[in-house]
């Protein structure tokens, strides 16, 4: 009897303790992520969703810069060591009639730290099957490879896809490996694989086109041959800049430095300066794909260069 009583008491205590512990702890999230940043802009509700991050060598940012000068600037951005984490911020625009995704993240074949977009959308309560349109800024893995799943099937089989004709032609053409280091030849294979998957549902666009009313294509070549940004109408403007401005300090203070990720470095420098000038002049908002999450801010002129002022 005594034993039984003790046992059941112990069992009861254990159960109660477990119950209390469970009640006092928040439910375990699938990943530690705050609710995504959302704001109104013109006719759109804008949401920035993380795809995770990339781990990249710091030398990629500016191989031509003096190492100690580069290191000092990286330190300002809270980065030290041989590698740094580059966030990947995917923009979602909701209008009265469309749910539009700008870029699709890395998918599951690029880096283990990236490819989190679909999980993050889900936990934000956004049903990916409701996405009607996808616009790509360019064909690099961290922007395009999320288009297909592990079986090469489309993740969003009902969406329409929108690609710059110049970018499509570059990756599908014979010159795709030109300007790319040999170790990144896989980028070409991956771009072709993903473009092939969307081929039946793709619409080509060029600079100046409106994808939907209020979303206009700006030509911002250099990072890749057909790289584009998107201007979203409303207020002082909002530019979803893709990979024109990738680092919160270096891209603004030294737009003339040449990250190795840029396919056409001189053109990328000219594009960076053009976009910085426009953003500072118009006081437009910017969403930068690789700027610290959510990558939302404005650009100010400072001491003959520029400064990124984060918002949100
Ligand atoms: Zn990128």
Count of structural domains within the chain: 1
**What Rg, from alpha-carbon coordinates, does the chain have?**
22
Centre of ligand 1 to C-alpha 141, Å, is 8
Centre of ligand 1 to C-alpha 124, Å, is 23
Centre of ligand 1 to C-alpha 87, Å, is 9
The per-residue pLDDT for range 191-250, each reduced to its tens digit, is: 999 999 999 999 999 999 999 999 999 999 999 999 999 999 999 999 999 999 999 999
Centre of ligand 1 to C-alpha 46, Å, is 20
Confidence of residue 33 (pLDDT cuts 50, 70, 90): low
The per-residue pLDDT for range 119-175, each reduced to its tens digit, is: 999 999 999 999 999 999 999 999 999 999 999 999 999 999 999 999 999 999 988
Centre of ligand 1 to C-alpha 212, Å, is 24
The per-residue pLDDT for range 266-298, each reduced to its tens digit, is: 999 999 999 999 999 999 999 999 999 999 999
Centre of ligand 1 to C-alpha 242, Å, is 7
225: CB partners within 8 A, 6+ apart: 166, 167, 170, 263, 264
Does a structural domain hold residue 231?
yes
Does a structural domain hold residue 105?
yes
Give the pLDDT confidence score for residue 14 in this predicted structure: 43
Centre of ligand 1 to C-alpha 44, Å, is 24
The rounded percent of the chain whose pLDDT value lies above 90 is 76
Centre of ligand 1 to C-alpha 231, Å, is 18
Residue with tokens 């290191």: 71
Give the pLDDT confidence score for residue 182 in this predicted structure: 76
Give the pLDDT confidence score for residue 11 in this predicted structure: 44
**By the 8 A CB rule, do 212 and 230 touch?**
no
- Domain residues for the domain of 303 are 59-310
Residue 17 vs residue 104, higher pLDDT:
104
Question: Rounded mean pLDDT of the chain?
Answer: 89
**By the 8 A CB rule, do 164 and 230 touch?**
no
Centre of ligand 1 to C-alpha 271, Å, is 16
Centre of ligand 1 to C-alpha 20, Å, is 45
Does a structural domain hold residue 73?
yes
Confidence of residue 176 (pLDDT cuts 50, 70, 90): confident
Convert 56-92 to b/e letters by CB count within 10 Å (16 or more is b). bebebbbeebeeeebeebbeeeebeeeebebbbbbbb
Can you tell me the distance from the alpha carbon of 244 to that of 55, in angstroms, rounded to the nearest whole number? 19
Centre of ligand 1 to C-alpha 10, Å, is 56
Long-range contacts of 305-310 (CB under 8 A, 24+ apart): 305/252, 305/253, 305/254, 305/255, 306/252, 306/253, 306/255, 306/276, 306/280, 307/252, 307/253, 308/245, 308/248, 308/249, 308/251, 308/252, 310/248
Does a structural domain hold residue 1?
no
Does a structural domain hold residue 230?
yes
Confidence of residue 34 (pLDDT cuts 50, 70, 90): low
Dihedral over alpha carbons 168, 169, 172, 178 (to 10 degrees): -110
Centre of ligand 1 to C-alpha 1, Å, is 69
Does a structural domain hold residue 32?
no
Average the pLDDT over 108-125 and give the result.
96
Of 44, 192, 43, 205, nearest to 135 by C-alpha is: 205
Centre of ligand 1 to C-alpha 225, Å, is 14
CATH of the domain at 122: 3.60.15.10
Centre of ligand 1 to C-alpha 144, Å, is 9
Centre of ligand 1 to C-alpha 243, Å, is 5
Give the pLDDT confidence score for residue 302 in this predicted structure: 86
Can you tell me the distance from the alpha carbon of 79 to that of 70, in angstroms, rounded to the nearest whole number? 11
Q: What is the DSSP letter of 129?
A: G
Does a structural domain hold residue 265?
yes
Say if strands 99-102 and 83-94 run parallel, antiparallel, or are unpaired.
antiparallel
**By the 8 A CB rule, do 192 and 185 touch?**
no
Does a structural domain hold residue 146?
yes
């Amino acid at each position: 009897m005594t034993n039984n009583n003790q046992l059941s008491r112990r069992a009861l205590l254990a159960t109660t303790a477990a119950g209390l512990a469970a009640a006092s702890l928040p439910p375990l999230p699938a990943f530690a992520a705050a609710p995504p940043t959302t704001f109104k802009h013109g006719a759109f509700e804008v949401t920035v969703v993380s795809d995770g991050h990339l781990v990249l060598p710091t030398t990629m940012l500016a191989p031509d810069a003096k190492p100690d000068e580069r290191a000092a600037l990286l330190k300002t951005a809270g980065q030290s060591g041989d590698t740094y984490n580059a966030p990947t911020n995917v923009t979602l625009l909701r209008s009265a009639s469309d749910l539009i995704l700008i870029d699709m993240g890395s998918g599951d074949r690029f880096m283990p730290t990236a490819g989190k977009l679909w999980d993050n959308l889900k936990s934000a309560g956004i049903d990916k099957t409701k996405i009607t349109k996808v616009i790509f800024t360019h064909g690099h893995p961290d922007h395009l490879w999320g288009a297909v799943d592990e079986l090469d099937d489309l993740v969003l089989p009902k969406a329409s896809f929108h690609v710059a004709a110049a970018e499509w032609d570059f990756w599908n053409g014979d010159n795709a490996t030109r300007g790319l280091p040999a170790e990144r030849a896989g980028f070409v294979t991956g771009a072709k694989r993903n473009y092939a998957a969307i081929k039946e549902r793709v619409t080509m666009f060029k600079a100046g086109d409106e994808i939907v009313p209020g979303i206009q294509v700006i030509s911002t070549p250099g990072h890749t041959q057909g790289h584009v940004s998107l201007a979203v109408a409303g207020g002082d403007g909002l530019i979803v800049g893709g990979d024109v401005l990738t680092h919160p300090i270096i891209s603004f203070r030294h737009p003339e430095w040449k990250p190795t990720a840029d396919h056409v470095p001189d053109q990328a420098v000219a594009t960076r300066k053009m976009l910085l000038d426009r953003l500072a002049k118009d006081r437009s908002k910017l969403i930068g794909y690789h700027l610290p999450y959510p990558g939302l801010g404005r650009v100010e002129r400072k001491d003959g260069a520029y400064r990124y002022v984060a918002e949100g």
